[in-house]
Each structure stands twice: as C-alpha cells, then as structure tokens.
Structure 1
Amino acid sequence: MIADRQVDLQTVDRFAESLRSRGKQPATVESYCRDAQRFLDYLGRYKVEPSQVEPETLLAFQEFLRSDCEERDNSVRRTVIGVRQFYRFLSDSQAIRATPFDMVPIPVRDDRLPKGLSPDDVESLLRSALSGRPEIKAARDAALVSLLAHEGIKANELIGLRWTDYLREKDRGSLRINGSRSRAVPLSAESNELLAAYQDLFAQVKHPVIVGSTEKRMFIAFKGRDAASPLPVMTRHGLKFILYELGDKTGLRKLNTEQLRHFAVSYLIANGRTPDEIMQFLGLRRIGNIAKHIVKDKGTAKTRIIEGATRQA
C-alpha cells in the first residue's frame, strides 16, 4: 500500500488526468476533483487518514453536507458520486487497499421541481444587478442573470463563453455553445440588450491583465475593493457567489443556477416554445423535468382562468 501522505493534491491532479483520459468532460473533471478535495479536507479536520475510512465515514460526510453546509439533497448526491469515483481511482492505482464506499448506496435523486422563481423575482434580480458598481460589473451580473433565467444556459457553459461565440445583430443575437452538446441559442430581446451593453463596456477595458490574457473569455471576474482588479476568468465558485450576493439583496436566500435554469423552462413555455425546441435550447437529451413544468404551468394557467371566471361572475 502506498503511504497515505501521498494521497494529497498531487493525487487529486492524477485523478483529474485519469478522468480526462477516460473522456470525461472538463466540467465533470472539475466537479469530481472538487468533491475529492472537499472530502480530503473533511478527513483532515478529524485527522483521519484516507485509508482509514469506513462506509460510516461517507454517511457522516453526507450528514455534514446537509446539516453544516446546508447542501440540497441533489447536491449531496452529486458530491457522493464524485467521492466514490475518487476512491475507485485510489483503489485502482493501489494508493489504498480497496474502496469501502461501493457498498454505500448513492442517495436517491430528488426529482421534485425546486421552489420556483416568479417573473417578479427575476426582475428584482436584474434591477439589483444593474444597480451595482462599477458599471461593467453591474452589466456583467445583469447579463449573467438574464442568460441563466431566459436562455437556461448552464453554469459551465457560461463560464466557457468567448466573445467570438456571440453573434450580435441590431435587434437580435445568438450564442454558440461549444462542447459535447454544442448548439446555437437564439437570445431573448432582453438578454441580447444586456449582453450587448456588457460587450460595449468590456471593449473599453484597458487593464493589462485583461488585454494581455490569452483566454479572451466573455465573463471576467473582479476582486479587491470596489472591484478594482479584474481577472481574465470567472470560476464556478465566483458565479455561485455572485448569485448568492444578488439573492441576499432581493430576499432570495441561497439563489442558485438550478433555480434560474428551471425558471428558463417556464419562461420558454410561456413564450410558446415546444418541448423539442426547449430541449434543443437547453442542450437536453431527454424531456425530464420539462414535462413536469408543462403540467405545472398548464395547471397554473387553468387555475388563473378559473379564478378570472369567478371574479367576473
């Protein structure tokens, strides 16, 4: 057995290399490695070596995620899957004798729709974003919210966008989404207007970190007081923090991309898009929760019709 001291950051790096060699998508590699590091950090808190874990250790970690970190059930489920994959890698590479986690059941997926956002909620988020400072950060945040809420673009897809992926015309625009589910996404009028405003401000940025970057990403990050220092790449953690901050300002505690993406389904349905079109726009391979949204939204519409008829009577 390899000494436990070698199960460290370099081991996580080798885990990433193994995942990439198996054809895993960059977002999956990043997610699994983040899960692995979180688990190693958790073990470190209690001075437990990676080879000393038992099935109960993973169960305790699940409870830690739910209670201390207040993670949602599906988030816990995804993290557990990442940790199991990491321990299979440790076993296969003989860093540990065997993984004890294959006998631990994966938490059941919660297929209920998350608590829905209303159009007023999204408008409040956009107003809050646009009221921020500096102006370019406000424009960036508003464009992010709109693309999540109206087009349903995934977090990792947003982060990977470059300006060359944006086709901008006078009254309309579209985005080219690259990757395993590449597609062209037509933009709503509001998203196109907000993204165009952000692009105009971005073009004025003369900071050497941005000008000299080879990344040329669409969405940059900011740090420091008054967001004075730009960074060429925005991370998933950075996006999560942006939404948390906007959510706190508007009374939507722990706002996340999943809520906005689910709102996008309802938004597209309300704008007359068919299930096939929505699957294409969102890069989905199966109808999944779209069917639930259709039933839910039809039920809501039926309720409104009945309520309206009652008032008229």
Structure 2
Amino acid sequence: MTESDRALVDRFADALAAERGAARNTLLAYRSDLAAAAEVVGDLGLAGAAELGRLAPAWAELSPATLARRSAALRRFYGFLADEGLRSDDPSAALPRPRTVRPLPRVLEPDEVDAMFREAEDRAASGEPLRLRNLALLELLYGSGLRATELVSLPARALARPEPFLILSGKGGKERLVPISDRARVAVARWRETLPKGAVWLFPGGKAHVSRVRLFQLVRAMAAEAGIAPERISPHVLRHAFATHLLANGADLRVLQALLGHADIATTQIYTHVDSKRLVELVNRVHPLAGGALAKASTSA
C-alpha cells in the first residue's frame, strides 16, 4: 500500500471510530480488507472502475461472505472519500457484488430450553458453587439475550443494585438497556455469595474472567447433561432462542432490536422466519378484513 493510501485509510479509520464508534477489531478488519484490495488494484486512492474491475477475477476463489465483506469495506471507503471531497467520483459501482444469503439461526425449542433449566436447577440445588455459577450463566444468556463477551465481562458489582435492568456497552460502544428477570437476579445473588471479597469479575476465571471459549464449553456441557446434542448448542444459540421465543410470544421487532442491541432492524428481521405460522395467524386474526371485522366495525359505527 502506498504512503498516500495509508494516509487515506488512517483518515477513514479515524472517521469510523469517531462517528460510528467502530471497535478496534472492526477497524483492523477494514484495514486488512483495504490492504488486500491494494495488492490487486495498486493505488486505492486513484483507482477507477477499470482497476476495481480486476478484483472480481482476482477474488473469484474467496467465499461469498468474504467477498461481500471486502466489497462492503471498499464501498464505504470510496463513499468516505467522495463525502470528504477527496475524490470527485465514486468508482464503487465496479466492485464485485456477490449474492449472499444470510444463514438462518439455529433454533432451540422451548421444551429443550426447559430441559436445560430443569437440569441446571436440580444440580444447583446442591449449593455447589460452580453449579450455582452455571445456573446464573444460563439465566442471563437465555433470560436477557446477552452476547458471550458481554456476559463473561460483567463486573462483580453487576446486578448488585435493585434496578431490574443492566446498562451495557455493546458492539461499537453503543449502550443499551437489558432487562433482568427476577429469577436471574436470584440466581446471580446466590452465585455472588460464593465470590471472594474484592472480586473484580462476576464470573472470574484464571487471571481475569471466564473466557468465551470456556463459556462455550460450559454451555455445551449443560446441554449434554439435559440430554441435548452438544453440537447444537452455543452461547449464541441461546441468544437466538431468547429472540425467537420472545417474537413467538408477541414481542415487537423494534423492541427486540433494542433488546439485542442490533444497529440495523434488518439484522433482527431474520428471526421472523422462525414463527411464520404465528405471523400468518396474527394477520388473519387482527386484519380489518379478517372474519368480516371491517364490515362489523362499519355497522357498529
């Protein structure tokens, strides 16, 4: 990458960090994708449609997801240059646009979640600290839809106050309100009683907090104990279950978006596939034309 390109990429990254609160890993990913493009087209700042047209054959062996990500990084980069007056044109129309299909989330049935909770509660009844910890983890994963990183990095003081919610700083530093159920609060309180004084993390492990990898292992172990195939379960699958089951019971998509911390409602809309039958029934039941409801309303008026 040329020195001039490096300067442009630095300005682009600074803008993403300042205006959109992009996380460090996100910025590193953008830099990596732009560097990969520079290897093919040469000078990114001066590249036109002809140069960008070389990317499609050069990246033909990439997975659709990787190709889509790299193209998106370049589109945003050139959009930034145009907005800042650093280019008079935007050549990104020449970028490859792979067709990608967002994979549907793996889904747990409510009775499977119930089985995991029954087993975790039975084992926690012994009062064994690690069993109390596991139940608290499960309550927060499924009961609040926390991301794995958000969960394992909770400070020891989390949920120590009576408010029925947490204020979390999620992806990109964006804050959101996360409701905490009474049963989750009870489970966390029982676990907190076992923590040593001066504990920094709610779920300590080693020299810091429990790692995401360890959380993954714990969740799979709890699934196996409940008779569920471990390969079907992960912390993220429980987050999907939280969203899926809320939607199935009438939650609004916008509310769900806020609870999950999604920046874009399109990300949340993927959950509508899991309960299409309920959505059809909802339309048939409450639409003005359903069952002559419109005519009845006119008559009563």
If the TM-score is normalised by the length of the shorter chain, which range does it land in?
Answer: 0.5 to 0.7
Query: Which 5+ residue runs of structure 1 have no aligned equivalent?
Result: 67-72, 211-216, 223-227, 301-313
Counterpart CA distance in 2 for 1:58 and 1:219 is: 46
Equivalent position SS for 1:252: helix
2:3 aligned partner: 3
Structure 2 residue corresponding to 1:30, chosen from 24, 28, 51: 24
User: TM-score, normalised to structure 1's length?
Assistant: 0.53
Residue 81 of structure 1 and its aligned partner are, at CA, apart by 2.5
Residue 180 of structure 1 and its aligned partner are, at CA, apart by 4.4
Change (3 A) 1:119 1:39: same
Change (3 A) 1:202 1:114: same
Change (3 A) 1:85 1:269: closer
Counterpart CA distance in 2 for 1:76 and 1:197 is: 48
C-alpha contact (below 8 Å) 1:87/1:101 kept by paired residues = yes
Residue 155 of structure 1 and its aligned partner are, at CA, apart by 5.3
Bigger radius of gyration among the two: 2
Change (3 A) 1:154 1:116: same
1:303 aligned partner: none
Counterpart CA distance in 2 for 1:3 and 1:147 is: 48
2:104 aligned partner: 113
Change (3 A) 1:279 1:78: same
1:214 aligned partner: none
Change (3 A) 1:99 1:299: closer
Counterpart of 2:62, as a letter, is: F
C-alpha contact (below 8 Å) 1:143/1:194 kept by paired residues = yes
2:179 aligned partner: 185
Structure 1 residue corresponding to 2:216, chosen from 229, 232, 243: 243
Equivalent position SS for 1:64: coil
Counterpart CA distance in 1 for 2:132 and 2:176 is: 26
User: TM-score, normalised to structure 2's length?
Assistant: 0.54
Query: After superposition, where does 1:47-66 map in structure 2 within 5 Å?
Result: 51=43, 54-57=52-55, 63-65=61-63
Equivalent position SS for 2:238: helix
Structure 2 residue corresponding to 1:263, chosen from 241, 246, 260: 241
Counterpart CA distance in 2 for 1:254 and 1:58 is: 37
Counterpart CA distance in 1 for 2:190 and 2:245 is: 22
* RMSD of aligned residue pairs (Cα, Å): 5.4
Aligned-pair identity (%):
20
Q: Aligned pairs, how many?
A: 256
C-alpha contact (below 8 Å) 1:165/1:175 kept by paired residues = yes
1:70 aligned partner: none
